[in-house]
Amino acid sequence: MKIEAVDFFYLSMPQVTTEADGSQDALVVRVAGGGHVGWGECEAAPLPSIAAFVCPMSHGVCRPVADSVLGQRLEGPDDIARMAALVEYDSMDLLQAAHTFSGVEMAMWDLLGRARGEPVWKLLGYAASHAKTPYASQLFGDTPQETLELGRKARAKGFRAVKYGWGPIGRGAPEADADHFAAAREGIGEDGILLVDVGQIFGEDVERAALRLPALEKARATWLEEPFHASALEAYGALAARSRTVKMAGGEGAHNTFMARHLIDYGKVGYIQIDCGRIGGIGPAKKVADYAAPRGVTYVNHTFTSHLALSASLQPYAGLEGHRICEYPVAPKSLAVDLTATHLTPDANGEVRAPDAPGLAVEVSPEALRRYRVDVEIRVGGRTLYRTPEA
C-alpha cells in the first residue's frame, strides 16, 4: 500500500493559559492508505507543525515533510524507517520537521498494525507487552499543604508512584523547596515512589540545583527530572556526580536519537524519558530504549496529553520487563480526555500495559475532533497549501 493522504487536526481548549500543561491544545494526525487509517499525535505547537508539512521548498535540504511521505510505499517497518531517513536528510534545515513527522510516524505504525492485525509492539520485535507501574503526573501545589493534599488524592486513586512538577520549585529559597519535598513524601506515604520534575528551572547552574539535593535525598526522591536545559550535558553530569541517591532524569526535549544518547553518555542520567511526539516517533524511541537498556539506564515514556499519545509512548519499551515506570496523565484538560473513545486504565494491580489489539488500539473520537477543532487555512501566493479536513 501507499500513503495516500495525511491530514492534520489542530485542536484547542477555548482558553489556553501559561500553566505548564501541554494538554491545552493538540495536533492530531490521520494517515490513510490501502483502505486503512492510522492516527498519531504531535507534541508540538500545532500551527508551525502543519506549516512544516506543506511549506514551499527553500532548497534541496529544506523541503516540506510532505515530500518524504505522500505517495511513499508502506508495507513494513523498514518503509517507516526509510521515510524517516528521507525526512532527516531532505528536511534537515527545517527545524520543525522532527516534531511534525513524529505524529505522522505514529500514525503510520498504527495504520500498519491495523492492516496486519498486530499490535505495534509486536511489529517492533517484542514477544510480549509487560505491565508498567503508572505514576500520577501532576504539578506541585502553590503551598506545601496543597502539595501534600495532591499526594493524598493520587494515592487515593490507586497510584503508588507520583511525580510532582514545576510549580514554585527553584523560584525561591532552597528551604521553601524542601518544605514541598517533605510535604510530597508525607502525601504519598512512606512506601510511595516520589519523582520530582523542576522543568529546567536552573538553566545550567549546578550550584543552585545542588542546594536542593539534601532535601530531595531526605524525601527519598527516586529522580530529579530536567534540572537543566535539555542540552546542558556538562551540568547534568556534574550534578549526577554530586548526588548520592537521587538519579538524574531527562530526555523529553530530545528531538533525535543522538540527543538522547548524549544525555546517557555525557549527562549521566539514570532515567531517559522519551516523548514519541517529539523525537521523530515510535521507531527512534525504540532505538533509544535499545541503547539505554544494556547501559543500565532505565527507559521511561514522557506523556502528558491523550491516551493516543500514551499508547504510542508505551510501545517502544513494552517488551522491556525490568523498565517498569510509566508516566500517566492523571489530570489532563478535557480536550485530551475527550479526544479518544479508548482509555488505557490501570488494571486490578494498578498497572498499565501497551494494548494487545492491532495498531495502537486507541479509537479517536470524531465528535471531539469537531468540538475542539481550530480551522486552519494556509495560503501562499494565492494558492491554498492546506485547509482543515472534515473529521
Which cell numbers in the block locate residue 46?
500545532
CA distance 344 to 57: 40
**Does residue 22 sit in the same domain as residue 128?**
no
**Does residue 143 sit in the same domain as residue 271?**
yes
- pLDDT averaged per 10 residues, the chain (length 391): 97 91 93 97 96 97 98 98 98 96 98 98 98 93 96 94 94 97 97 97 98 98 97 97 97 96 98 97 98 98 94 98 93 93 93 97 97 96 94 81
Under 8 Å CB-to-CB from 74, ≥6 apart: which residues? 1, 2, 3, 33, 34, 80, 108, 111, 112
CA distance 342 to 344: 7
Number of structural domains the chain divides into: 2
Q: What is the CATH number of the domain that holds 36?
A: 3.30.390.10
Which cell numbers in the block locate residue 335?
480536550
**Does residue 112 sit in the same domain as residue 130?**
no
**Contact in structure between 196 and 163 (CB atoms under 8 Å):** yes
CA distance 258 to 14: 37
Q: Whole-model pTM?
A: 0.95
DSSP secondary structure code for residue 340 in this structure = B
Q: Is residue 356 part of a domain?
A: no
State the burial class of residue 203 (Cβ atoms within 10 Å of its Cβ: 0-12, 13-18, 19+): middle
* pLDDT at 86 (0 to 100): 98
CA distance 110 to 290: 21
* pLDDT at 390 (0 to 100): 86
What is the sign, positive or negative, of the torsion defined by CA atoms of 146, 201, 325, 274?
Answer: positive
**Does residue 46 sit in the same domain as residue 146?**
no
Which cell numbers in the block locate residue 345?
486504565
**Does residue 266 sit in the same domain as residue 136?**
yes
What is the sign, positive or negative, of the torsion defined by CA atoms of 195, 199, 200, 202?
Answer: negative
Q: Centre a 10 Å sphere on the Cβ of residue 377 and count the other Cβ atoms it contains.
A: 9
Q: Is residue 55 part of a domain?
A: yes
**Does residue 211 sit in the same domain as residue 326?**
yes
Which cell numbers in the block locate residue 40?
498519531
**Contact in structure between 219 and 182 (CB atoms under 8 Å):** yes
Q: Is residue 360 part of a domain?
A: no
**Does residue 197 sit in the same domain as residue 297?**
yes
**Does residue 206 sit in the same domain as residue 270?**
yes
Do the bridges between strand 271-274 and strand 247-250 make them parallel or antiparallel, or are there none, so unpaired?
A: parallel
* pLDDT at 329 (0 to 100): 86
For residue 11, what are the domain limits?
Answer: 5-118+365-387
* pLDDT at 19 (0 to 100): 83
**Does residue 202 sit in the same domain as residue 331?**
yes
**Does residue 130 sit in the same domain as residue 68?**
no
SS3 content of the chain, % helix, strand, coil (to 5): 40, 20, 40
Instruction: Using the 3D structure, point to which of 303, 320, 338 is the last residue of a domain.
Output: 338
Q: What is the CATH number of the domain that holds 228?
A: 3.20.20.120
Q: Is residue 173 part of a domain?
A: yes
